[in-house]
Amino acid sequence: MKGKWILLRSLVAVAVLTLAAGLSRAQGPEPPGEGSQPQGDVGVQALMGTAFTYQGYLKKGGNPVNGNCDFLFSLWDAETGGNQIGSNVEKTNIPVSNGLFTVRLDFGPGAFQGDARWLRVRVRCPAGSGDYTVLDPRQPLTPAPYALALPGLWTQQNGTSPNIIGGHSSNSVSAGVVGATIGGGGLIGESYTNRVSADYGTVGGGYGNIAAGSGATVGGGIANYASGPYATIGGGRNNAANGYHATVGGGRDNTANGFAAIVGGGVNNTAGGDFATVPGGSGAEASHYGEMAYTSGNFVTEGDAQTSLYVMRIMRTCNAGTWYDLYLNGNDTPVQYLTVAPGRTIAFDALVVGRTQDGESAGYYVRGVVENVGGTVRFIGTPSVTALGEDDTAWDVQAVASDAYDALFIQVKGNGELIRWVATVRTVEVSW
């Protein structure tokens, strides 16, 4: 055929339907036992895939084309020049009737991430004849009106729970991950993109944020890293939640490493112990089980000038005349001690209370100073013990500096009863 080829109009169909269906399925059913059961048939049953329908109107020499033709399609990020996205897609022996033709194209996952795209079309008619002819200009792939309400938002489908990705086109979900969400944000450059690398992770926005733990969440901010399963970082900068169920609310350069450990905010705080807490401030280190530490600054290293609060407990039958240790984790094993690190001095006071099931009770107040010098843990002076009240004078409390365990012990004594003992230990701590 001679004469000039013209592709007068083109239409991309189904793209909006694909996006809307992906958003609907991404919500997923509620976990068992949490809320009502899904109504009707709403689960992911068949993937819509990444293909879309393309329709065009082809003329040559001013006349609509009739017959079968071959087409070669390629996707680009610019109207002229630019970079090709994905591989070529060839469609052969396509019927063209009065200039109209319809093909189904698929450039694979990641081809459409909210940025502008152009389609280059090459054609040869009749099918199987000679070389392809390039049809200029490239065809812009424009969104339907409803799609304009969701700029910079796309889906990655899978058989479990589709991923939803918003914001900069460099934001990414790692291969094989399901149920991930990136709400937006992100900047140019690999090191400043938002990324989800574990199932059901979420990054709300900001840039340079990573949700690397299963079900982990980073709300926003800059360069935050939630690697613990179900860990949460609200925002801030350079924060890390590495423990299982760990949380950092915000602030800067804070770290929550322990199981269910929490740093509320502030700067340069670390919650390393399981169930440890730093509410805020600057330079605190809660390294023990259940410790709550606070300081408004430090001399050289985190935790070298702080106050802490501990809760110790145990429930057991206390034989008359025998001393029993209270532990940070109570009756759990392995037991957790209130250790005293080398080069550290601690002034402490403790309120201790005990009670039996029948209501026999006692309360005590203990004060003292303990230090670790060259690996030797010892008291400075003698701790004082005050009985605040006791139903049985055979009950008693004492503080012990244990060099064998490098720890401060609170010990209790009963008179043959099954007793629940609880102590709150408040400390002021300095290291050099």
Helix/strand/coil percentages in the chain, nearest 5: 5, 45, 50
Which pLDDT value is given to residue 189?
66
Q: Are 70 and 90 in contact (CB under 8 A)?
A: yes
Question: Exposed, middle or buried: residue 244 (CB in 10 Å: 0-12, 13-18, 19+)?
Answer: middle
pLDDT attached to residue 142: 81
Which among 50, 67, 45 is positioned nearest to 58, based on CA atoms?
67
Domains 5-31+45-148 and 308-431 share a fold: yes
* The predicted structure's pLDDT at residue 33: 37
> From the CA atom positions of the chain, what is the Rg in Å?
34
pLDDT at 196: 98
> Based on the number of CB atoms within 10 Å of its own CB, is 53 exposed (0-12), middle (13-18) or buried (19 or more)?
middle
Q: Are 167 and 183 in contact (CB under 8 A)?
A: yes
- Taking the domains of the chain in order of start, what are their residue ranges? 5-31+45-148, 308-431
Per-residue pLDDT of the chain in tens (432 residues, 90 and over written 9): 445 666 654 444 333 222 222 222 223 333 333 333 333 344 445 566 788 899 999 998 889 999 999 999 999 999 999 999 999 999 999 999 999 999 999 998 778 877 789 999 999 999 999 899 999 899 998 877 666 666 778 888 888 999 999 999 889 999 999 999 999 999 876 668 999 999 999 999 999 999 999 999 999 999 999 999 999 999 999 999 999 999 999 999 999 999 999 999 999 999 999 999 999 999 999 999 999 999 999 999 999 999 999 999 999 999 999 999 999 999 999 999 999 999 999 999 999 999 999 999 999 999 999 999 999 999 999 999 999 999 999 999 999 999 999 999 999 999 999 999 999 999 999 999
The residue behind tokens 């199932």 is 199
Look at residue 157 in the predicted model and tell me its pLDDT: 84
Number of H helices, E strands in the chain: 1, 36
CA angle 234, 236, 240 (to 5 degrees): 75
pLDDT at 4: 67
Q: What is the pLDDT of residue 19?
A: 27
Give the domain 308-431 fold: Immunoglobulin-like (2.60.40)
Q: CB of 292 within 8 A of CB of 308?
A: yes
pLDDT at position 190, please? 61
From the candidate CATH numbers 1.10.1300, 3.40.1010, 2.60.40, 3.30.390, the one assigned to the domain spanning 5-31+45-148: 2.60.40
pLDDT of residue 290: 98
State CA 285 to chain mean position distance.
22
Task: Check residue 47 and give its pLDDT.
Answer: 61
Q: Which residues contact 312 (CB under 8 A, 6 or more apart)?
A: 326, 327, 328, 330, 338, 410, 422, 423, 424, 425
